[in-house]
Amino acid sequence: MKVVSFILSALASLSAAQQATLCKDFEYYSSNGYELNNNIWGRSSATSGSQCTYVNSVSSTGAKWTSNWQWQGGRDNVKSYVYSGRQITKKPVSQYNNLETEAYWVYDTSNIRCNVAYDLFTSANVNHPTSSGDYELMVWLGRYDVYPIGSSQGMVNVAGRQWELFYGLNGNMKVYSFVTPSGPIYNFKASMKDFFQYLANNKGFPITSQNLITYQFGTEAFTGGPAKFTVNQWSANAY
């Protein structure tokens, strides 16, 4: 009986340690107001490669997960944006009182071309498909030999940190990227509302009419690896 009890206990611990494995291109998991997506949307630009994401835990306090990937070919093309996202009630950005977030992450290698970034879409149409928007706000916590869309608009201070701000177009979508200028930010805590407010005050972002339609954090993989991206904790508020 002791042996059986030990085995059952070990299996229970293993199950608790990993809630899901996502290896298909758009394999998805959701729980407790959070969602995760393996999101290999650019596989066709790779000559070879693979990616699997392991959901370690998801609770009301956030998500913990790991993604292992390697990609070859199509040097300047994104292969995937694996992410954890906050399920939100879509409404104008100005109406959110709390968009605070925390991210604690690490990569196990530098032999990669990728970023680590927040990705938030907004649209005047609250029912706009969530694969794009009128505006895209990105906050790059890590940059490994890749560059954001557009051109530099100079250095700015937002949420108590200095960033290099980039602006460009992805089709008709206006993309603003706040990029860390001095190495990766492995431990990050801020409010995304501060970044939107900066754009409203300085770049004409229509904060009262643009609805927030996605709130995500992950890594855009280009080439390199094998790589292991570990999110020790990610949490986000949206109310």
Q: Is 220 a catalytic residue?
A: yes
Sequence-separated (6 or more) residues with CB below 8 Å from residue 133? 121, 122, 123, 173, 213, 214
Contact 215, 192 (CB under 8 A): yes
Query: How many Cβ atoms from other residues are within 10 Å of residue 54's Cβ?
Result: 19
The residue behind tokens 């290896």 is 23
Q: Distance between CA 149 and CA 171 in Å, rounded?
A: 11
Q: Distance between CA 107 and CA 129 in Å, rounded?
A: 31
Q: Distance between CA 154 and CA 165 in Å, rounded?
A: 6
Q: Which residue among the candidates 27, 35, 136, 164 is catalytic per the annotation? A: 136
Structure-block tokens of residue 225: 């690896």
Q: Across 62-172, where does the E strand assignment appear?
A: 62-72, 80-86, 100-107, 112-123, 135-144, 151-158, 161-170
Q: In DSSP terms, which residues pair with 192 in a beta bridge?
A: none
C-alpha distance from residue 194 to each of 3, 35, 134, 157, 230 (Å): 55, 24, 19, 10, 26
Cis peptide upstream of residue 226 (ω within 30 degrees of 0): yes
Task: Give the catalytic positions in this structure.
Answer: 136, 220
